Amino acid sequence: MTCRIAFVVFPDFQQFDLAGPMAVFEVARLAKPGSYDWRLVASAPPTVRSSAGVAWPAQGLPRRLGDLDLVMVIGGDGVDAACGDARLIGWLQRAGRSGARIASICSGSLVLAAAGLLDDRTATTHWSRGRQFATDFPAVRLQPDRIYVREPAVRAQQRPEIWTSAGMTAGIDLCLALLAHDHGEEIAREAARQLVVERRRPGGQSQFSPLLDLQRPDGRFGALLDDVRRDLRRDHRVEELAARACMSPRHFARCFRAETGATPAQVVERLRVEAARAALEGGAASVLRVSLDCGFGNTERMRRAFLRLLGRPPAAFRPGGSRAA
């Protein structure tokens, strides 16, 4: 059975956000003829100019939504204008009720959020858009340090299955996961081999980026985060951080998330993992010593944090260490 895909583009979309996923489905179709078919659609056809200046041909938004199995919104610099495109937003709302799966690549998740499709659901986006996302769409359970997130369908509420991804290459990860879901792991591994990419980066693996631009010189919590970095062994629970910021825990947590797009606990864990990773890559003699110096308390807690954020155990980051998880 063919999965019929509509790639949704808008002026100033990012070409790689489109080309990467398209390549996954192209390889899958070569391995399994008839498995996927696709078209580019837009609210302003017949051509849509990408942020690179190249115009791509596109059809109008389909009226017959029953002909689509997957609607995938591409990201890019033009996403803010796309969020205000009433025609596109209305069409996505109807698509969400049609039974089709919905997906986004990179900042395309903001368009899904603008259509209300992510309210009270978990999603991710590119790290550079995390603060904007958390501010503009507080009803969404944003997980800014995830590579991709899958939200199952809620049939009783007519809520579709939704997949969101963090960035350009994370869109490839998402599409490989979709491929494995549709046709099994073997064909997904074959597609990854053809594209010369890693097949399975866990959806929870870190985006490997500065966590939401935390080191902004004008940031409200910059001095506090510098204090955390200087002494990672200290108690950095939200109550302690709030006291140092002279705020109530609840108000502190709300303001912190609004500025950074992440919870205090997520940021502290990431800072500890980054420090531990640097120590291990620098040849630190003892994994136990690193776990204590970086505030994890024990090696098992550090191991779980590494797997969650980096997709690899601490030993993999020591010189000559194994890359196996």
pLDDT tens for 119-167 read 999 999 998 898 899 999 999 998 877 788 889 888 777 899 999 998 8
Single-letter residue type at 12: D
Select the CATH number that applies to the domain covering 3-195 from these four: 3.20.20.80, 2.60.120.10, 3.40.50.880, 1.10.390.10.
3.40.50.880
pLDDT at 217: 43
- Confidence band of 198 (pLDDT split at 50, 70, 90): low
Locate 315 and state its tokens. 């030993």
Least confident among 81-85, 151-155, 297-301:
151-155
pLDDT of 200 above 70: no
| Of 90-104, 117-131, 210-224, minimum mean pLDDT range | 210-224
What tens digit of pLDDT does each residue of 9-65 get? Answer: 999 999 999 999 999 999 999 999 999 999 999 999 999 999 999 999 999 999 999
Question: Selecting from 1.10.10.10, 3.90.198.10, 1.20.1260.10, 1.10.10.60, what CATH number does the domain 211-317 have?
Answer: 1.10.10.60
Query: What would the DSSP string read from start to end of 239-254?
Result: HHHHHHTTS-HHHHHH
What is the share, in percent, of the chain residues with pLDDT greater than 70? 91
Residues of the chain with CATH 1.10.10.60: 211-317
As annotated, the residues of the chain forming the CATH 3.40.50.880 domain(s) are: 3-195
**Where would I find the H helices in the chain?**
15-31, 79-83, 86-97, 109-114, 130-136, 168-183, 185-195, 222-230, 238-244, 249-260, 264-281, 287-293, 299-310
Instruction: Say how far apart CA 16 and CA 158 lie, in whole Å.
Output: 32
| φ/ψ bin of 38: left (φ > 0), alpha (ψ from -120 to 50), beta (otherwise) | beta
SS3 category, 302: helix
User: Is 0.95 topped by the overall pTM?
Assistant: no
CA distance 103 to 221: 34
